[in-house]
Chain A
């Protein structure tokens, strides 16, 4: 029967419509594909496991740099500048910087300022407007000239490149988390980190 000729094709159509980017393998050593956890979710996008890994690695690379120790002792005051997500999927870059800030603060070498920069807490500046108010005990109001300006700025960029295997059956997304800490006076890059995560999987669909 001629109609039967098309049955396997139609069946394949039905099956193929239900599959999307299966079995993504990541080079992140904490990912499910690396740890062998078959229940772990893996995708072409940046996951929370990737953000945690990148934050840990960045902090480790920062702290290994001798320049991260302030000459003469004490703590550097640092503020977060711009960290740009230039990939194929939106995610909140503050999830990365928040973890980095926390770990660097815990190292005892840094204080983070929220008076300026991307993480600016507006209330810190608005507080100064209370200086003329009779409603407030002026000894408890922040006075002019008390804010500490940051000495360093944390800045960064997350990018991705997509490549295909020779037979174009596989695609690889190469993520790079590039973070730098810049001396505000001289403009020098005091220390930096570069963390790569590769994700490989089927080239059947676009990876977002």
Chain B
């Protein structure tokens, strides 16, 4: 038995317009990865500059800030990247690990009658960590040790807080009440959930990495690059600080991959021998994970001839893709390969997994509310257009279109992160250049020897695509130098 809720029709139409107009992001931002394939990292970053060189970004839009900030970072435009990422940081300050009604939960509940994409993008816990990681890396590549120290401290705080924040986030999302107020509608939601097969709803989770746990939300590369910075800093205070030891033990006790834990141990040994010169390699590989939308036509526990659309849209986790399993750095006969340290699939999927069940329930509740409104609206249309069935049909199509437009999964995510962050290191010989090759032996770049410790930073999104290589002397006192590669943008 369906009841009348005529007053839904107008709000639904109004919200449709908002849906169609309010969620359009900068197309250059959306197509960032495609742009890198054609124009390379520098060409893509140039898209975010005005003709006079000023940065072109919507500073009210966190999602755009993250993508544009990373695009500048990938191009080696460290100062521009920090300018943009610092704006993003102001929007990602929330810590909220104990507040009764976190903003995320409020946003979650508040968009039940519409959809998540209508709310501002508030960011993810892992995005806060990666944001501070890139700000710290930018400072290091700019040769600004004082700034790098402060930014690595912020990263350390974020990382330290992330696990408990994830637990609090999970709790608040699961406790968020998205049930319809009306008991009849609540019953419809429960019946619908029972009738829908779990496997259909679980499609969104099918590609998640195995054995996830909250402790793995900490990024090992953040800890280990922090440790490298401390031990190669020009300040004695950095080398004496407990922060190196804390970073190494955090990776050894929490990292998901054996390779990260082993590398942390190797690094600890290397730190005891820093009178020798070392080269450290940070390699950002591939395209990070993404989120797609999939739709399910609901076996709604309500049947009506007046119904033209009833379905839910859910997010589906899509794993990232790698370009190289590792890269090799060599100097004469000496050579060493990078190892996986941070798997972005693991990092990003923790929040996705923890909120997924609540999202399913919310979307079903949303579908029920919209369906009840749709049926009521269609009955009203029938009454008012009984002498003109064609006009009535057209109006019903409009109502169904509204419901369909409002059914939209939130697929926003930081889409130009790498798939993996790999680290490597090797003892250096004096005056011999360093050669970088892919795992398949393809030449990537030749970096000149610089006295003292050296950081080589490599970014490659896809095989055959642009490769960016930078070399920074450690301690970092000047801006890193870019190393030429063979890649050139298509004419």
- Give chain A's interface residues, CB within 8 Å of chain B: 1-3, 5-6, 9-10, 12-13, 16-17, 20, 82, 84-90, 157, 160, 162, 164, 167-169, 171, 203-206, 208
Residues of B with C-beta under 8 A to A6: 109-110, 112-113
Q: List 8 A-B contacts (CB under 8 A).
A: A3-B113, A16-B106, A17-B103, A85-B146, A85-B150, A162-B157, A206-B95, A208-B154
Interface check B147, CB cutoff 8 A:
yes
Q: What CA separation (Å) do A94 and B104 show in the bound complex?
A: 41
Residues of B with C-beta under 8 A to A2: 5, 113, 180-182, 185, 369
9 tightest Cβ-Cβ pairs between the two chains A and B: A168-B98, A205-B93, A84-B237, A9-B110, A13-B106, A157-B237, A5-B181, A90-B150, A10-B110
Known: A6-B113, A16-B106, A206-B158. A90 touches B95 (CB 8 A): no
Q: Decide: B149 and A204 in contact? CB cutoff 8 A.
A: no
Residues of A with C-beta under 8 A to B153: 86-88, 160
Distance of B47 from chain A, by nearest CB (Å) = 30
Residues of A with C-beta under 8 A to B101: 12
Residues of B with C-beta under 8 A to A206: 93-95, 154, 157-158, 161
If A88-B154, A171-B95, A206-B154 are given as contacts, then 8 extra A-B residue pairs at C-beta distance below 8 Å, sorted by A number, are A2-B113, A2-B185, A9-B109, A82-B237, A90-B150, A203-B95, A204-B99, A206-B95
Interface check B238, CB cutoff 8 A:
yes
Looking at B106, B180, B185, B235, the one whose CB has the most chain A CB atoms below 10 A away is B106
Q: Decide: A13 and B150 in contact? CB cutoff 8 A.
A: no
* Count of B interface residues, CB-CB < 8 Å: 39
Interface check B383, CB cutoff 8 A:
no
Interface check B257, CB cutoff 8 A:
no
Distance of B135 from chain A, by nearest CB (Å) = 11
Within 8 Å by CB of A205, from B94, B109, B236, lies B94
Residues of A with C-beta under 8 A to B241: 86
Chain B residues numbered 218-232 whose CB sits less than 8 Å from any CB in chain A: none
Residues of B with C-beta under 8 A to A16: 103, 106
Residues of A with C-beta under 8 A to B357: none
Q: Decide: A204 and B96 in contact? CB cutoff 8 A.
A: yes
Nearest A residue to B145 via CB reads: A84
Distance of A191 from chain B, by nearest CB (Å) = 19
Residues of A with C-beta under 8 A to B150: 85, 87-90
Residues of B with C-beta under 8 A to A164: 97-98
Residues of B with C-beta under 8 A to A20: 93
Known: A17-B103, A203-B95. A86 touches B149 (CB 8 A): yes
Q: Mark B233-255, 1 if CB is under 8 A from A, else 0.
A: 00111100100000000000000
Distance of A25 from chain B, by nearest CB (Å) = 18
Q: What CA separation (Å) do A160 and B243 show in the bound complex?
A: 12
Q: What CA separation (Å) do A169 and B95 show in the bound complex?
A: 10
Q: What CA separation (Å) do A106 and B65 show in the bound complex?
A: 50
Q: What CA separation (Å) do A145 and B64 show in the bound complex?
A: 61
Q: Decide: B107 and A90 in contact? CB cutoff 8 A.
A: no
Looking at A6, A89, A162, the one whose CB has the most chain B CB atoms below 10 A away is A6
Q: Decide: A203 and B97 in contact? CB cutoff 8 A.
A: yes
Residues of B with C-beta under 8 A to A204: 94-96, 99
For chains A and B in complex, what number of residue pairs have CB atoms within 8 angstroms? 85
Q: What CA separation (Å) do A2 and B180 show in the bound complex?
A: 7
Interface check B332, CB cutoff 8 A:
no
Q: What CA separation (Å) do A196 and B96 show in the bound complex?
A: 27
Nearest B residue to A170 via CB reads: B98
Residues of A with C-beta under 8 A to B181: 2, 5
Q: What CA separation (Å) do A86 and B96 show in the bound complex?
A: 25
Nearest A residue to B103 via CB reads: A16
Interface check B7, CB cutoff 8 A:
yes
Interface check B11, CB cutoff 8 A:
yes
Nearest B residue to A167 via CB reads: B98
Known: A13-B106, A84-B149, A167-B98. A3 touches B154 (CB 8 A): no
Q: Mark B104-131, 1 if CB is under 8 A from A, else 0.
A: 0011011011000000000000000000
Q: Decide: A3 and B110 in contact? CB cutoff 8 A.
A: no
Q: Decide: A168 and B11 in contact? CB cutoff 8 A.
A: no
Known: A1-B7, A87-B150, A205-B93. A169 touches B106 (CB 8 A): no
Q: Mark B1-39, 1 if CB is under 8 A from A, else 0.
A: 000010110010000000000000000000000000000
Q: Decide: A90 and B99 in contact? CB cutoff 8 A.
A: no
Residues of A with C-beta under 8 A to B146: 85, 90
Residues of B with C-beta under 8 A to A12: 101, 106
Within 8 Å by CB of B11, from A3, A82, A89, lies A3
Looking at B113, B157, B237, the one whose CB has the most chain A CB atoms below 10 A away is B237
Q: Decide: A169 and B369 in contact? CB cutoff 8 A.
A: no
Known: A13-B107, A89-B150, A90-B146. A82 touches B113 (CB 8 A): no
Looking at A20, A86, A169, the one whose CB has the most chain B CB atoms below 10 A away is A86
Nearest B residue to A92 via CB reads: B146
Q: What CA separation (Å) do A10 and B158 show in the bound complex?
A: 28
Q: Mark B81-102, 1 if CB is under 8 A from A, else 0.
A: 0000000000001111111010
Q: What CA separation (Å) do A155 and B184 show in the bound complex?
A: 72
Nearest A residue to B99 via CB reads: A204
Distance of B246 from chain A, by nearest CB (Å) = 12
Nearest B residue to A90 via CB reads: B150
Distance of A79 from chain B, by nearest CB (Å) = 16
Q: What CA separation (Å) do A160 and B241 show in the bound complex?
A: 12
Q: What CA separation (Å) do A3 and B98 show in the bound complex?
A: 28
Residues of B with C-beta under 8 A to A160: 153
Residues of B with C-beta under 8 A to A167: 98
Nearest A residue to B5 via CB reads: A2
Nearest B residue to A82 via CB reads: B235
Q: What CA separation (Å) do A17 and B103 show in the bound complex?
A: 8
Residues of B with C-beta under 8 A to A157: 237
Distance of B87 from chain A, by nearest CB (Å) = 14
Distance of A97 from chain B, by nearest CB (Å) = 14
Residues of A with C-beta under 8 A to B94: 204-206
Residues of A with C-beta under 8 A to B103: 13, 16-17
Looking at B5, B11, B95, the one whose CB has the most chain A CB atoms below 10 A away is B95
Q: What CA separation (Å) do A164 and B160 show in the bound complex?
A: 12
Distance of A42 from chain B, by nearest CB (Å) = 17
Nearest B residue to A10 via CB reads: B110
Q: Mark B162-205, 1 if CB is under 8 A from A, else 0.
A: 00100000000000000011100100000000000000000000
Q: What CA separation (Å) do A127 and B149 show in the bound complex?
A: 35
